[in-house]
């Protein structure tokens, strides 16, 4: 079975600004909520930095 999980993305509407940023995590049985939330925040931050023209600090 082929499977694709979209974990981070940005959507630009008709006016191209502002963008909607989405980030998620792959939750499994032994996932820890605090760690998953931190990972989601890190992924969203990288997208926001890219949209603002800044370089990522090497996170997710």
Which range marks the domain in which residue 31 is found?
8-51
**pLDDT of 16:** 72
Q: How many domains does the chain have?
A: 1
Assigned domain for 47 exists:
yes
Distance from C-alpha of 27 to C-alpha of 6, rounded to nearest angstrom: 13
Assigned domain for 29 exists:
yes
What are 1-58's pLDDT values in tens digits?
A: 677 777 888 888 887 777 889 999 888 999 999 999 999 999 999 989 988 887 655 5
Q: Given the DSSP bridges, would you call strands 19-23 and 8-12 parallel, antiparallel or unpaired?
A: antiparallel
Assigned domain for 38 exists:
yes
pTM: 0.69
Assigned domain for 15 exists:
yes
**pLDDT of 18:** 78
Handedness of CA 28, 31, 34, 39 (dihedral sign): negative
Assigned domain for 58 exists:
no
């Amino acid at each position: 079975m082929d499977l694709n999980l979209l974990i981070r993305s940005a959507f630009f509407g008709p006016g191209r600004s502002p963008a909607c940023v989405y980030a998620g995590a792959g939750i499994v049985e032994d996932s820890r909520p605090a760690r998953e939330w931190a990972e989601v925040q890190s992924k969203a931050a990288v997208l926001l930095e890219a949209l603002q023209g800044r370089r990522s600090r090497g996170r997710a």
